[in-house]
Amino acid sequence: MFRKRYDIDGFRLHLTGTYTPVTTGSGMTTNVYTTPGLTTTSYFRALVSYNGCSAATPGYAVAQKVIAGTIAGGTVSPATVCNGTAATLTLTGYTGSVIQWKICSTPSGVYTDITGATSSSYNPNTTLPLLSYVLYYKAAVSSPGCVPVLTPAAAVSVISCGKKSVATEITPGQFEVTAYPNPFGESFKLDLTTSSDERVELRVYDMIGRMIEIRQVNVSDLSNQEVGNNYPSGVYNMVVSQGANVKTLRVIRR
C-alpha cells in the first residue's frame, strides 16, 4: 500500500518582504514550530515538499503582545515633628498599582517592609522610647508582573521640642548627662552635672555593638568636646562614666 509522505523543509520568516529559513526556536522542520520571544510582529510560513516537489503555505502574522505603561517610583517628602505628634508620609508622582512602604535606621542601609503599609500615604510611629531620633522611609512601587521601583529615602525627624534634645530621661542626682543637639548634623556636645573631679570616660558604640570611639576627658574640658564629627549617619549608643557613675545616651546623626 502506497502512502503519501510529506516533508516539512522548514518554517520561513520574513520581516522585510523576503522569507528566509528560521534559525531559532524549536521544531523548525516539524509540523509544530515554537518561536523564540518576539519583539515585533513577524510573518511565518512553512515550506512543504513531496516527491521532489515543494510548495509554501500562506504567510501568517504573529504579533508581539505589548503591555503599555511604565512604573515610576515617585517621591516622598521628609518630615520633622515633635515626639508624639502625628506625621504623614505621602507618595506623589508615582505610576503603579502596588505600593509597599519600607523602613531603615540609616539612609543607605537595608530597608525592610512595614507590615500593612500598602497605601499611597503612611503614618510613622512617633512615640518611640527615645525623645529624639531619625528614621528613613522608602516606598516600593510596582504593578503585577513588574519589578518594583524604590523612591529616594525620606527622613522623618522626631524631636523633643525642648531647649535641648536629650537621648534618655535624666534622673535626679549628682551625675547627669545631656547630649545636644540630638539628632545632630556635624557634631554634638555633652552637658555634665557632677560633684566629682575624676576624669570622665566616653565610649561610643554603633547599633551592632562595635566600639567607634573612646575618650578620657577632664571634667573642666568636657563642655568644649565636640563628638561625632566623623560618624556616618546612623544611631549610636554613648556610655559616659565617671568612677562608679555610668550613663548611657542614644544619639543620632542625620
102-144 residue pLDDT tens: 999 888 888 999 999 999 999 998 877 666 778 899 999 988 7
CA angle 240/167/178 to nearest 5° reads: 55
- Joined together, the cell numbers standing for residue 169 give 530621661
- Strands 79-82, 154-159: pairing kind: parallel
Task: Map out the domains of the chain as residue ranges.
Answer: 7-62, 75-159, 176-253
Read off the pTM.
Answer: 0.42
The answer as to CATH 2.130.10.10 being correct for domain 176-253 is no
Q: How far apart are CA 3 and CA 217, in angstroms?
A: 104
Q: How far apart are CA 6 and CA 9, in angstroms?
A: 9
Q: What are the angstrom distances between the C-alpha of 164 and each of 167, 175, 235?
A: 10, 18, 18
Architecture label for domain 75-159:
Sandwich (2.60)
Helix (H) / strand (E) containing 47: strand 42-50
Instruction: Note if the bond before 181 is cis, omega within 30 degrees.
Output: yes
Q: How far apart are CA 243 and CA 195, in angstroms?
A: 12
> Tell me, what's the pLDDT at 4?
43
- Joined together, the cell numbers standing for residue 191 give 552637658
> Tell me, what's the pLDDT at 248?
87
Spell out the per-residue pLDDT of the chain, length 254, in tens.
334 444 545 555 555 567 788 888 887 778 787 877 665 667 777 777 777 677 666 665 554 443 444 556 788 988 888 878 888 999 998 888 889 999 998 888 889 999 999 999 999 988 776 667 788 999 999 887 677 889 999 988 887 764 444 444 444 457 888 888 888 888 999 988 888 888 999 999 987 788 899 999 998 888 889 999 989 998 898 999 988 888 888 898 88
Q: What are the angstrom distances between the C-alpha of 23 and each of 47, 154, 245?
A: 14, 51, 81
> Tell me, what's the pLDDT at 45?
75
Residue closest to 135 by CA, chosen among 149, 150, 121, 114: 114
Q: What is the Rg, in whole angstroms, of the alpha carbon atoms belonging to the chain? A: 34
CA angle 45/48/54 to nearest 5° reads: 115
Contact criterion met (CB below 8 Å) for 152 and 137: no
Query: DSSP string of 49-67?
Result: EETTEEEEPPPEEEPPP--
> Tell me, what's the pLDDT at 120?
92
Q: What are the angstrom distances between the C-alpha of 52 and each of 27, 66, 91, 194?
A: 22, 42, 69, 108
Same fold, 75-159 and 176-253: yes
